[in-house]
Structure 1
Amino acid sequence: MAQVAPAHASPLAATPPLAGTRMAGEGVLRFLGFEIYRARLWVQPGFDADNYAAQPLALELTYQRNFTADAIAKRSIEEMRRVGSFTPQQATRWQQALAAALPDVKPGDRLLGLYQPGAGAVFKMGGRVVGEVPDADFSRLFFGIWLSPQTSEPGLRQELVAATRGAAGQP
């Protein structure tokens, strides 16, 4: 099972990737003691974590290991199955689209995923678009990997939405 540890980024690294957003939280995903990536979530004021799919957001992953785009896509589809159901045909189409949209990553690479409800996902690295998957169902389930209550990493989800919970007075 993966472990989550709080991440503490420098204030200089906390530039909002979307206009009008603020960082809601951050965390580190570890697997068998190895750091896999650091994650940061950016949301607009009034963000409701329990209704994440209705609101624009940005999720930044800073990788600490080498991964191919194919490996990330395959694992993403596995994790998306926890969030919701989809057909084998959708799984194949989405895995291919995600593998084509993402670059291979190495330690230190920052991949930014932008979610627009009903529109799909856009991926950026180094300030430029590296790919997109223009499918609303895909993007809702993809960002649900981190934000859905059905996530395989509830501790990381709690870290990511920490500021939104505190602001709303929720547990």
Structure 2
Amino acid sequence: MPSTTRPLRLRRVHPAAAFLLAVTVAAWWPATVQATTPEPTARAALQDKQVLGNSRLRVWGFEVYDASLWASPGFDAKGYEQHRFGLELNYLRSFKGRDIAERSMDEMRGIAAITPEQATRWLAAMSALFPDVQRGDRITGVHVPGSGARFYLNGRLRGELADEDFSRLFFGIWLSPKTSQPAMRATLIQAAAAAPRTP
């Protein structure tokens, strides 16, 4: 899929703009999520957040991306799904969007059981949302409690997946105690762990 900054609205895809996407995924999101309008930029979506931690992912000696956790003071990593926060990945290598989606699904399966229906739906949605990336591209995911996950490419809205279960497991790739990268998790949340909890 070519890299583009034009937003994809997966809950309401305009048929003239993305007919195939509408046919495959537009009707799959639960009706219980809260419908809210996504902010057009990552800056707007995270306007009251600050960077709590940074970490670099290396796999077999290759540098993959730099990750930054954006959240409010008092962020509780043990209950991360209850907070609005952002996870920004600054890519250091080129990757196909489909490969990012498939790797994300593998990591999510390591955190919790996923039904075949969820796997089919989520993989299709991620494949549509995640573009091919080049070195220097940034994908920012924003977790919105009660709504789901929103994604931004180089700061501009790419689309959303309005499914709380997906959002919890997706961001669990970095924040769950079951993550495959515990050292990265520890680095990302270190400032939050040191900060006093807000009442």
Stretch deviating more after TM superposition (123-132 or 67-76): 123-132
In the alignment of these two chains, the number of paired residues is 155
Task: Report 1:1-171 matches (<5 A).
Answer: 18-168=46-196
In the superposition, the TM-score normalised over structure 2's length comes to 0.75
CA displacement 1:83-118 (0-9 Å, x = unmatched): 211101111110110110111111110111111012
The structural deviation recorded for 1:68 is 1.0
How far apart, in 2, do the equivalents of 1:168 and 1:81 lie?
33
How far apart, in 2, do the equivalents of 1:128 and 1:22 lie?
18
* Identity score, percent: 49
How far apart, in 2, do the equivalents of 1:16 and 1:44 lie?
14
Question: Larger radius of gyration, structure 1 or 2?
Answer: 2
The structural deviation recorded for 1:34 is 0.7
In the superposition, the TM-score normalised over structure 1's length comes to 0.86
The structural deviation recorded for 1:17 is 5.7
Q: Is the 8 A contact 1:68 1:105 kept in 2?
A: yes
How far apart, in 2, do the equivalents of 1:155 and 1:144 lie?
14
Structure 1 gap ranges (5+): 1-14
How far apart, in 2, do the equivalents of 1:29 and 1:88 lie?
29
How far apart, in 2, do the equivalents of 1:35 and 1:97 lie?
26
CA displacement 1:114-133 (0-9 Å, x = unmatched): 11012111111122111221
Following TM superposition, the consecutive aligned residue runs of length 4 or more in structure 1 with deviations greater than 3 angstroms are none
> SS of the counterpart of 2:58?
strand
Q: Which letter does structure 2 place at the counterpart of 1:46? A: G
Greater fraction of residues in strand: 1
> SS of the counterpart of 2:170?
helix
Ranked by relative contact order (alpha carbons within 8 Å, sequence separation 6 or more), the top structure is 2
